[in-house]
Structure formats: C-alpha cells, structure tokens
Amino acid sequence: MNALATSLQIYFTTFAHTQRDLSANTITSYRDTWRMLLKYLSMTLRIRADALDFDVVTAPNVTGFLDHLEQDRGNSAKTRNTRLTAIRAVLGRALPDHPEHAGTIVQVLAIPPRRTTRPLVEFLTPVETDALLAAPDQQTWTGRRDHALLALTIQTGLRISEICSLTFDDINLGTGAHIACTGKGRRQRITPLTKSTVTTMNSYLTERGNHPGTALFCGPHGLPISRDALEHRLAKHLIAAKTTCPSLAAKHVTMHTLRHTTAMNLLIAGVDVAVIALWLGHSDTHSTDAYLHADMAMKQAAIDRTRPPGVTAGTYQPEPDILAWLTSL
C-alpha cells in the first residue's frame, strides 16, 4: 500500500471521526470527491487507481479534475469549491507525515477557489405559503404527516437534514413549546413553536403514536423519512399548490426555500438580523445578510423614509415634453 492510500485510510477511518468529529454528510462528501478524483486520474494518466500516489496529485492534475467537474459534468462553481475543500482537507492532514511530498502538496493547497456570485434568495409569499400548506390531502395519513412537516419547517426554518433526524425526544409541546436539534457544525439550538404549530403537532403526534419507531416524521414502517423522499413529497404538493397559486410556477422551490421563507418572515416582522442568525443556526450574520437584499418592499420603505421633506412619495415620471424639460434646467 502506497503513501496516498495509507493517508486516505488514516483520514477516513481515524482522523475524520475521532479528531475532527465530522458529520456523516461531510465524510460522505469528502469520500465521494476522492473517489471521483482517483477515477479521473486513473483514466487520464492510464494508471491503476491503487497505484496512484502523491506524485500524481499535482496542482495541474487537480485543476484539470476541477475543470472536468465544471465543463464535462456541468457542476457549478460552488460544487467545484466544495470538491477542492475535500481535497485540501486530506492533503493538509497528510502533509506533516510526508515531507518528501511537501512541494507537491503545498502547490495543491495553494489552488484558489473559484469566485462565485450568490443568487438572490428565493422565498414564498404568505399567499404561496398558504397554498402549499393546503396542498397535502389531509384525508390520508401521509397527507396529515406532510402538512405537519411543512408547517413545522416553515415556522422553524430547520434544514432538511435536521428535519429528517428529529425524534420524539426533540419536541416539547408543553409550557415553553420548542423543538431541539443539532445542526450544521454540531451546533445545538432550541427553536420556539407558535400556538398554531403546537396545535398542528399535537394533532399529528396523536396519530403518529400508531406507527413504530422514534423518528418524529417517519415512513409507513416507522423509519425516518429520507431527504430524497422529503423532496419528492414537496414536489408532489407543489404541483397541487400551483393550481390555486399560479405564482409558484415561476419559482424553483426546495426544502431550503422553506428555510429562506422563515428568515424572510422574521425579517419583515422587524426581527434583528443577529437574532435571525441565531434562529437559523448560522455561525455569524454574514450568511444572514443575504436576506437583507431579497425583499424589494423593504428597500422601497427605506427609500420612502429617506426622501427629502416636501417631496411626494411615488414612482418618478418624466415630463411629457423631455426637450422642454431639459431646456428648463
């Protein structure tokens, strides 16, 4: 077994779990990145994957792999940067143990990430939210479950991974009703529940007790609902919601869109950005600042508050005779 294979085994069997305590999703992402990298290098260099060593994990080869992701696989710049982070993580851990490959490893670690543009946050309006919540068929068990799940998600802003991992022990519907979860970066947080959400969840939990397992939201056999199944259920309900709310057809709605909706509802209600960051489990307010750019009504209100005294509010309309207007200046 060569040095690269040894370093990969040490990282994924020991370091990632015991020293870094990385989440299962992060470890899976890092593993998949290295599998794709080794397959790419094996195909490009015509070397067996088990014979690849640090001497072929060079900056030009890694850059070629990253370009392959964008150009051939159609990955975004954000995905490219995520793959680069995974490569750096393993090489950074291996560097002290293999000084003979320091020159090659340092050059890879110096590869800059691709600059990206952050799109405007997409969220649901109150009318669109009501249409989505009304879409599940509440004559069926799955429909009542989906309605409760969507209502909880829109009110709390939990991530899809956090929703899927909830158990009975994470919800308290008594005094000080709240939901507890362990989110991104192992950060634990508690999110309060509104009276309407408590009512919905009380009704749901009464029926949920007839199914096995401890997952808060489960499938027919009591197993936790998966991420793919959850997105599939959302897509199905969106089709129904679009019949009553046509504006949904112009939006790409995912479970993360519901999280954005939570943040925008809080922001429009006047909640401070720092509090919203805590609510969503952000490590700082930089991630939350994106919501400040999303709502045009808030920006229009800012313009209205800063107009000069004596100026009537409204949209600017030029004079009908523009030449006469220019002459009068």
What is the band of 159 on the pLDDT scale with cuts at 50, 70, 90? very high
Which range, of 89-103, 120-134, 311-325, averages the lowest pLDDT?
Answer: 311-325
pTM of the model: 0.72
* Residue 296 reports pLDDT greater than 70: no
Please tell me which residue, 119 or 65, carries the higher pLDDT value.
Answer: 65
Convert the pLDDT of each residue in 203-255 to its tens digit. Answer: 999 988 888 889 999 988 888 999 899 999 999 999 999 999 999 999 999 99
DSSP 83-95: HHHHHHHHHHHHG
For the 126-300 domain, the top CATH level (class) is mainly alpha
Residue tagged 């004596």 (tokens) = 310
Report the candidate in 149, 110, 113 with the shortest Cα–Cα distance to residue 133: 149
Please state the domain extents for the chain.
Answer: 3-109, 126-300
Q: Report the pLDDT value the prediction gives residue 308, as an integer from 0 to 100.
A: 67
Bridge partners (DSSP) listed for residue 189 = 181
Please provide the average confidence, as pLDDT, over all residues in the chain.
89
Q: Report the pLDDT value the prediction gives residue 21, as an integer from 0 to 100.
A: 81
Task: Give me the active site residues, please.
Answer: 159, 184, 256, 259, 282, 291
Convert the pLDDT of each residue in 172-213 to its tens digit. Answer: 999 999 999 987 777 889 999 999 999 999 999 998 888 888
Query: Are the C-beta atoms of residues 7 and 94 closer than 8 Å to each other?
Result: yes
Q: Report the pLDDT value the prediction gives residue 298, as an integer from 0 to 100.
A: 65
Convert the pLDDT of each residue in 309-329 to its tens digit. Answer: 666 667 767 667 777 777 777
